[in-house]
Amino acid sequence: MSRKRVAILISGGGSNMVALAKDMRDANHPAKPVLVVSNTANVGGLTKAADLGIPAAHVDHRPFKGDRQAFEKKLQEVLLAAKPDIICLAGFMRVLTPEFVAPWRGKMLNIHPSILPLFPGLHTHQRTLDAGMTVQGCTVHQVTGDLDAGPILGQAIIPVLPGDTAETLAARLLPFEHQLYPQVLRKFASGDTSKITLFGDQP
């Protein structure tokens, strides 16, 4: 069976993109990376993609300020040219409209740094601390027109430790993001949408 073509959307450092791409180096992986796109030029993730031998592009959102439709049209063109079967949002920090997402329904994944449906949106670690939570985590889910709300495919959970700040929580969670997302993509690309749960980092 031919390997599914994966496009990965990033906005910055791209560490989740690297975790996905490295896992896809396995010749038995049901998917392969065909494109990395950033909404900002000159981010570390683009350099890392090039180092990994993956075609990398950017569609800068700033020249389209005030015209989200035009930005998304350009982004859609770039994506369609790569003929992806699956799109992974990996630290992609632009909100995509329901119109953009609709054609990719059932084919687009996202990783979000909270235990969804808790804390969609931004500043998830600070909001977790402010709520007095004893656990934090990340979620990989299918993307729908509603922000951070599609069907959940996997979650990793870590404890909140005494003295944790938003920064220490984010740093301790990231390695679990790097475990969870590749595991979910592997299953998803082979047509398996059963859920994955990881528990980590016990004190």
Residues 48-87 that bind ligand GAR (CB under 6 A): none
Residue entry with tokens 């329901």: 98
Which residue's CB is nearer to ligand GAR, number 82 or number 147? Answer: 147
The least CB distance from residue 47 to ligand GAR, in Å, is 12
Which residue's CB is nearer to ligand GAR, number 141 or number 186? Answer: 141
The answer, yes or no, to whether the previous bond of 151 is cis (omega within 30 of 0) is no
Q: Strand 86-89 vs strand 152-159: parallel, antiparallel, or unpaired?
A: unpaired
| Residue 111 touching ligand GAR (CB under 6 A) | yes
| Residue 13 touching ligand GAR (CB under 6 A) | yes
Q: Is 86 helix (H, G, I), strand (E, B) or coil?
A: strand
Using the rule CB under 6 A, give the single segment among 75-83, 96-104, 106-114, 153-161 that binds ligand GAR.
106-114
Asked if 143 contacts 108 with a C-beta cutoff of 8 angstroms, the reply is yes
Residues 72, 91: Cα–Cα separation, whole Å:
17
Residues 136, 124: Cα–Cα separation, whole Å:
9
Cα dihedral sign for 9, 94, 97, 114? Answer: positive
Catalytic residue among 112, 125, 141, 178: 112
125 in catalytic set: no
Apex 160 CA angle, 156 and 162, nearest 5: 160
Residue entry with tokens 């930005």: 71
| Residue 150 touching ligand GAR (CB under 6 A) | no
| Residue 182 touching ligand GAR (CB under 6 A) | no
| Residue 88 touching ligand GAR (CB under 6 A) | no
The least CB distance from residue 196 to ligand GAR, in Å, is 16
Which residue's CB is nearer to ligand GAR, number 48 or number 83? Answer: 48
Q: Which residues are catalytic?
A: 112
Binding site for ligand GAR (CB under 6 A): 10, 12-16, 45, 90-91, 111-113, 138, 174, 177
